[in-house]
Amino acid sequence: MSDAALVLDLDGYEGPIDLLLALAREQKVDLARISILALADQYLAFIAEQRRLHLEIAADYLVMAAWLAYLKSRLLLPDPPEDDTAPSAAELAEALAHRLRLLEAMQRAGASLMALPQLGRDVFARGAPEGLAMIDRPVFELSLYELLKAYGDSHRRQHGQTLTIPPSTYQAMSDALERLMQIVGQVPEWRELIAFLPEEMRGGAMRRSALAATFAATLELAKSGQLELRQDRVFGPIYLRSVTRPEAE
Amino acid sequence: MSERNEQLRLIEALLFAAPAPLTEDELALRLGEEADIASLLRELAGHYAERGVNLVALSGGWTFRTAADLAAALRSERTVPRRLSRAAVETLAVIAYHQPVTRAEIEAIRGVTLARGTLDRLLEAGWVQPKGRREVPGRPLNWTTTPHFLAHFGLASLKELPGIEELKATGLLDLGPAVFGDNLPPPADEAEPDEAEPDETAPDAADD
Amino acid sequence: MSERNEQLRLIEALLFAAPAPLTEDELALRLGEEADIASLLRELAGHYAERGVNLVALSGGWTFRTAADLAAALRSERTVPRRLSRAAVETLAVIAYHQPVTRAEIEAIRGVTLARGTLDRLLEAGWVQPKGRREVPGRPLNWTTTPHFLAHFGLASLKELPGIEELKATGLLDLGPAVFGDNLPPPADEAEPDEAEPDETAPDAADD
């Protein structure tokens, strides 16, 4: 055992894999040809020494020790033939070796990275760059509409204008109800509510008023059992039809 | 010579990385007493004399500076979109419709005095210009729009500006909310009321 | 030739004056389309190759830096930056060489869970960043290095990471089932354990 050379303190290691890697380096052989069996022995001996010295051992190191003990027994015994899906002992050993190589590669890579000339530590940028002056040239955005609108505002403010409020025209619900009553028995198929608006009110601003009034009227008629209403989705068109057969009370 | 070369390289790097000019004393501290700082600086300045970057002695010490003759080439322009204030837009509109027009006339038409910066902004935009003087007491400047103004708004001539009657027809002179006017584009900035411009004062003189 | 010399001077001045590296495109904007930027940069880099200041290509573009071999002479009076912990250096290496990489993968490669401060240090240095999520159960964050990482270490791209070609060739950048198979113990806890994060679980426990 050469672990006497190692610090007998787990604080120096970044976990069990790191400890294994440090022990592997003690073997002074290429990781490609490392003996996992020997490594397992070293690790177990190291942990045993820790125990003997009554040093605190983190659970992770003990989990690894248990796993290595298991691996060691597998390596020493022939693989059980009945289970083809479970990894063989050799595969487990290779997986561990690969993992050690991965970690070693990253430890080396980290050292190489840190050895690179670093900005502000080894190499320096210009201490007082003058900067590249950027002259802002304003481009004014204004549309003809905005210009005309502004003139309109100004003109109106100065010259004023008589505000005439036209008498508002709207359809009352009573009117709509009256209209619908005339046709209520004559709609056997589903038809869109829109189709029942007064002709002169199907466009422009009157449309909303007529639509609201007519819709309210259809609700009234539906309530009294003369119409059926249907809407397939939110904000979708509203359909109506006559109730053909009077419901038995 | 090789040692001198290393000294030159170190001075070059020190001056490059320094956040402020370095004095010869400061350089001597870094390079050691045996280095001939003055001679090194002379050689380095000579090397950079014809380059895009020069080694120059300022009051505080030595530093690199980009060559003075490249100053213009180092600047570059960038266009930034700007919007005009409502006062400026109205003033522009008044000039466009009433040109040639004096400042006093603009103020009378708009009913407010012109803030100091308003005409400046329009001048900066290249849309208005002073053109001659009105032969009245005080000989005020006449203001007109520029060819650039026509080009910006895609107008072939001033005649293409819609007249007052046409503006009325499109509803731009209408008062009050155009509830039923679905044929107009949405108002540009209703959110910002006119009173937001503090430097516009009520008309002080109703002369015209 | 004189025109080329003026172009060289201008590039030199631009790169000296710019507070950050300039790309060839940015230089082309300043010098005009007819300038052969690549050739000019090559000539300029050649001129500065042996000097105390070098012209270098970084990920963000071209810039001047003090020569790396002068590090010791330049560092003398500057404060030495805080050293990174071993865990941080290893974690940085794993992110740099394996990116994009999840926290669970970092932990699997290093064989320990990440202490809370480790990624924070790297984030604080501006060297690593989370970038998107892995489309696997839990949708863990992917970690990558930043452009600032490349600039700090003087790398033009990730391809210039030391030894990355060799690592690739020897399969040491493949994670594969060797790391994530459930035939090895899970990552151990680092000195300062993390609270479990619900979306970033360690690899499955060994079923031995």
Confidence at C198, pLDDT banded by 50, 70, 90: very low
What's residue C82's pLDDT?
Answer: 67
Query: Could you tell me the maximum CA-CA distance found in chain A, to the nearest angstrom?
Result: 109
Express as a percent the part of chain A with pLDDT over 90. Answer: 4
Q: Do B90 and A151 touch (CB under 8 A)?
A: yes
Nearest C-alpha in C relative to B70:
C10
Q: Do C65 and A124 touch (CB under 8 A)?
A: yes
Option in B74, B121, B167 nearest A152 (CB): B167
Encode A101-147 in three state secondary structure. HHHHHHHHHHHHHHHCCCECCCECCCCCCCCCCEEEEEEEECCHHHH
Confidence at B180, pLDDT banded by 50, 70, 90: very low
Minimal CA separation from A112 to chain B, in Å: 25
CA distance C170 to A227: 80
Going by their DSSP bridges, the two strands B76-83 and B53-57 should be labelled as unpaired
Whether residue B182 is predicted with pLDDT greater than 50 in this model: the reply is: no
CB-neighbour burial class of residue B180 (10 A; exposed 0-12, middle 13-18, buried 19+): exposed
CA distance A175 to A178: 5
**Burial letters for A228-237: b for 16+ Cβ neighbours within 10 Å, e otherwise?**
beeeeeeeee
Q: Are B145 and A144 in contact (CB under 8 A)?
A: no
In tens, the pLDDT along B163-178 reads 767 776 676 665 444 3
Out of A176-190, A217-231, B51-65, which region has the weakest mean confidence (pLDDT)? A176-190
In tens, the pLDDT along A76-117 reads 887 666 666 777 888 888 888 888 888 999 999 999 999 888
CA distance B191 to B195: 11
Q: Which two tokens stand for residue C133?
A: 């999520």
Query: Could you tell me the maximum CA-CA distance found in chain C, to the nearest angstrom?
Result: 77
- What interface predicted TM-score (ipTM) does this complex get? 0.61
Give the strand order in the sheet containing A238-242. Answer: A191-192, A238-242, A227-231
Residue with tokens 């601003």: A205
Query: Given CB atoms, is C75 within the 8 Å cutoff of chain B?
Result: no
Confidence at B82, pLDDT banded by 50, 70, 90: confident
Query: Helical H runs in chain C?
Result: 2-17, 24-31, 37-48, 71-75, 86-98, 103-110, 116-124, 147-152, 164-169, 176-180
Confidence at B1, pLDDT banded by 50, 70, 90: low
CA distances from B72 to A32, B65, B173, C33, C40 (A): 63, 14, 49, 18, 20
What's residue B44's pLDDT?
Answer: 94
CA distance A95 to A107: 18
Q: Do C154 and A129 touch (CB under 8 A)?
A: no
Whether residue C208 is predicted with pLDDT greater than 60 in this model: the reply is: no
Degrees to nearest 5, angle at CA C109 with C104 and C113: 50
Express as a percent the part of chain B with pLDDT over 70. Answer: 78
Highest-scoring range by mean pLDDT, A93-97, B61-65, C76-80, C196-200: B61-65
Confidence at B181, pLDDT banded by 50, 70, 90: very low
Option in B78, B94, B179 nearest A154 (CB): B94
Q: Which two tokens stand for residue A97?
A: 């070796």
Containing H/E element for B79? strand B76-83
Q: Do B10 and C70 touch (CB under 8 A)?
A: yes
According to DSSP, residue A182 is labeled H
Task: List subunits contacting chain B, requiring 3 or more Cβ pairs under 8 Å.
Answer: A, C
Option in C93, C112, C189 nearest A113 (CB): C93
What's the mean pLDDT in B58-66? 85
Q: Tell me the sheet residues that pair with B133.
A: B141
What's the mean pLDDT in B122-137? 89
pTM listed for this prediction? 0.58
Highest-scoring range by mean pLDDT, A152-161, B38-47, C180-189: B38-47
Q: Do A149 and B125 touch (CB under 8 A)?
A: no
What's the mean pLDDT in C64-88? 79
CA distance B44 to C151: 28
Q: Is the peptide bond before B100 cis (omega within 30 degrees of 0)?
A: yes
Between residues A163 and B50, the one the model is more confident about: B50
